[in-house]
Amino acid sequence: MPKDRTISAEEMAQQKDYINKIKQMTDARETKPLAFVETYGCQQNSSDSEKLKGMLDEMGFGFCESPKEADFVLYNTCAVRENAELKVFGNIGALKHQKRRNPELMVGVCGCMMQQPHIAETIRKKYTHVDLCFGTHALYRFPQLLYDVMKKQRVFDNANEDGSIFEDVAYHRDGPPLAKIPIMYGCNNYCTYCIVPYVRGRERSRDKEHILAEVRAVAAEGYKEVMLLGQNVNSYGNDLADGLSFAQLLREVCRVDGIERVRFMTSHPKDLSDELIAAMAEEEKICKQLHLPIQSGSDRVLKLMNRKYTRAQYMELIRKVRERMPDIVLTTDIIVGFPGETNEDFEETLSVLKEVAYDSIFSFIYSKRVGTPAASMEDCLTDEEKHQNFDRMLALQNEISKRKNDMYLNTVQRVLTEGVSKTDAAVLTGRTEGGKVVNFAGDTALCGRFVDVKITKTQTWSLFGECL
């Protein structure tokens, strides 16, 4: 795959010109215009939003916490399941009145949903108060598109260009200690339920030097932890000439001074190599945490899903991982009610949950996605049966998660403090190496720092403790 997937310097210079033109326009105003950017979906999408906000920063925008105060509202959308889409439509619809009262308000929608032609068409026809609509492939052109909107044009840019990479972006990140670093974009796997390959294009890896430069830059800014992002990080580098594997990249990231923890997501079980397991076990900075989506415990369903592994092969991976890292925190994704799934298949999924005993799971009821192979497969179960199965699964997993968390009682955990708890200003919140949330009383001066916390109470989703 060609390296020239990276957007050319000339193109980026053109976009920079648009940034400067907008900056002149915003500077001419008495007050800074405010943008409200809301993100749906995965870490990849929130990383894209950090780029969009970085560009808005450079254009002279400030940010606000609610669409009501905004001069520009931008929803960065997710297409993975229908409920995320419905929420977006609801939110855009709610802006209709605000736009009527204030015609100067600019309304934008972008991201995975907008990369789907039928959605862009719906926005064009039914949501006529939307000024700007662009898909994931047009992300780098955001300055030009916004400029046209500011010049009173209605702009749609949803062409399928099968992806690109753009570098030299001034991210607007949430402050230290955690930085998200995309290492690759897109997905080649075509799991039959998944829209991602259609809206994010083919896999393309960033050059190692760009990634390492970014890791060094965030380290210099005081970030302590990086999360390397990709839909399938284990196939990092397959499209590059330098032959570097994901495990080798991880090891190089670990050499960056100042970064003390390295995480990654997501791994596809079919590509989880012994080399990666060895790197995880050997490199102290790599967190002993693995998110390994299994999706279903039934071989028949896994085949229908085109996952390219069997339950036995998956269990062998878990065995190998635990052999090298007995205390590793394991999490997974499960889809309930995939077309063709029977109650017997579902029992197999429950038995996997018991056998692996994950620390936690992310579970979803199957959602039909236009254009994917599974959309035309026959359903076996009724919606009611699917919901019943889903509830049974959650009850089982909650028991397992609580049991797993109970094992932390009275242990001392090294916690990286992330900030103040959303529900109690006197409580700080952070994470263990395994990614478990720990709440504890402490001074805000500890934010961004490592502290030792003795665990005194456990719940299904989090741990509580005392700072030592």
Beta carbon nearer to ligand SF4, 49 or 232: 232
Q: Which is nearer to ligand 5AD, 81 or 251 (CB)?
A: 81
Give the span between the Cα atoms of 43 and 181, in whole angstroms: 10
Minimum CB–partner distance for residue 158 and ligand 5AD (Å): 21
Q: Distance between CA atoms of 378 and 368, rounded to whole angstroms?
A: 11
Neighbours of 330 (CB within 10 A): 21
Alpha-carbon distance of 154 to 129, in angstroms, equals: 9
Q: Which range touches ligand SF4 (CB under 6 A), out of 183-191, 243-251, 269-277, 455-463?
A: 183-191
**Kind and range of the H or E element at 464?**
strand 462-467
The option from ligand 5AD, ligand SF4, none interacting with 81 (CB < 5 to 8 A, set by class) reads ligand 5AD
What single-letter amino acid sits at 342? T
> Residues, the chain, total?
468
Q: How far apart are CA 311 and CA 288, in angstroms?
A: 23
The strand pair at 155-157 and 204-205 is best described as unpaired
Q: How far is the CB of 422 from ligand SF4 (least distance, A)?
A: 29
Task: Decide if residue 78 touches ligand SF4 (CB under 6 A).
Answer: no
Query: How far apart are CB 105 and ligand 5AD at their closest, in Å?
Result: 33
Least distance CB 190 / ligand SF4 (angstroms) = 6
Site string for ligand 5AD, 62-101 (x = CB under 6 A): ------------------xx--------------------
**Residue 353 touches ligand 5AD, criterion: CB under 6 A:** no
Looking at residues 252 to 281 of the shown chain, list those that interact with ligand SF4 (rule: CB under 6 A).
268
Beta-bridge partners for 428 = 420, 440
Strand order in the sheet with 178-182: 178-182, 225-229, 261-265
Place of tokens 């200690």: 177
Q: Which of 246, 81, 268 is nearest to 191 (CA)?
A: 268
Which among 185-193, 236-244, 274-282, 403-411 is the span making contact with ligand SF4, rule CB under 6 A?
185-193
Give how far Cα 320 sits from Cα of 6, 346, 355, Å: 37, 25, 15
Task: Residue 344: count other Cβ atoms within 10 Å of its Cβ.
Answer: 9
CB-based contacts of 343: which residues, under 8 Å, 6+ apart?
381, 385, 389
When asked if residue 373 is in the footprint of ligand SF4 (CB under 6 A), the reply is no
Q: Which is nearer to ligand SF4, 176 or 237 (CB)?
A: 237
| Residue 366 sits in the site that holds ligand 5AD (CB under 6 A) | yes
191 binds ligand SF4 (CB under 6 A): yes
For residue 302, the minimal CB distance to ligand SF4 (Å) is 12
Segment lying near ligand 5AD (by CB under 6 A), choices 135-143, 340-348, 366-374, 448-456: 366-374
Whether 301 and 340 have beta carbons less than 8 Å apart is answered as yes
- Nearer residue to ligand SF4 within complex by CB, 268 or 291: 268
Question: Considering only 15-23, 186-194, 347-355, 425-433, which stretch makes contact with ligand SF4 by CB under 6 A?
Answer: 186-194
The reply to whether 194 sits near ligand SF4 by the rule CB under 6 A is: yes
Residue nearest to ligand 5AD (CB): 333
Q: How far apart are CA 83 and CA 89, in angstroms?
A: 10
Task: Answer yes or no whether residue 298 interacts with ligand 5AD by CB under 6 A.
Answer: no
Choosing from 45, 164, 295, 429, the residue that interacts with ligand 5AD (CB under 6 A) is 295
User: Cα 241 from chain centroid?
Assistant: 27
Structure-block tokens of residue 353: 């949950």
Q: The dihedral of CA 390, 194, 169, 133: what is its sign?
A: negative
Asked whether 142 and 155 are in contact (CB, 8 A), the reply is no
Does 232 bind ligand SF4 (CB under 6 A)? Our answer is yes
Under the binding rule (CB under 6 A), the answer on residue 334 touching ligand SF4 is: no
| Residue ranges in contact with ligand 5AD by CB under 6 A | 80-81, 193-194, 293, 295, 333, 335, 364, 366-367, 369
| Residue ranges in contact with ligand SF4 by CB under 6 A | 187, 189-191, 194, 196-197, 231-232, 268
